[in-house]
Amino acid sequence: GGRGPLAGLRTALSLAGAAAGLRPVYDLTPAERREDALAACALVPTLLTALHRLGRGLEPVEPREDLPYAANYLYMLTGEEPAPREARAVERYLISTVDHGFNASTFTGRVIASTGADVAACLTGAIGALSGPLHGGSPSRALDALDAIGTPDRIDAWIRARVREGGRIMGFGHPVYRTEDPRSRMLKGIAEELGGPLVEFASQVEERVEAVLAELKPGRELHINVEFYAGVVMELCGLPRTMFTPTFCAARVVGWSANILEQAEDSKIIRPSARYTGPVPPAPVPTA
């Protein structure tokens, strides 16, 4: 699930923020906050690709001034300039995942921003939320499911066994959508443009999973989500699976930053209330 580079990122970004002496957003002008956020957005993909390479005993690759964001990301990852088709495929994936409502990581970033903390603190908290497999760790798991199924004749038996065991089929179902995730339709189109046996197999699996889930869990509306074809597209573009969630993070840091800047304009703290439902005290508190 990309725990290596993400775990490294939350530590490195926190350290970079401390080394740069980032000040609380509460004490900054809007222009200063924006400057801090832009610096962090530039730093994240550079750190992620460097951490990936260092983890494999390779030297980090310096970013290039002449390459756009997605092409630069792939270049820093592999050390080779990517083919335009691959760069464009990854670019479209990054654009589609840049922001998506008040998901767990965005909400976390906004809560921290509401305390007036610095930009690195806000983003580090958001990365912590993203690192959980229920939020950011699924594109590689969706591909692992394709590997586990192996061949078309095993699709139905595998899905049925998985549902009977109460397991979740990664890449299907969404906490908000009760329809096909619109991002997945776009990513499926990109996958089909890239083509090949993996795409054909993924399409067969998608069709059967939808049919079996409709039969075994009627009315639940469990449809394909962004992660299923995101994994297929990233695999076809040569990204290693440990970098799937970090690549999602390289896009989402821009959305987090926009949310953090918006939240910082309002100096009220986000402070939900809770109701105690634990055991009652054994004896009344004595009166004075």
Q: Residue written as tokens 């530590």? A: 11
**Helix 104-114, helix 119-130: angle, nearest 10:** 150
Active site residue 227: yes
User: Exactly one of 81, 174, 210, 221 is catalytic; which is it?
Assistant: 174
User: Exactly one of 86, 206, 227, 235 is catalytic; which is it?
Assistant: 227
Q: Could you list the active site residues?
A: 174, 227
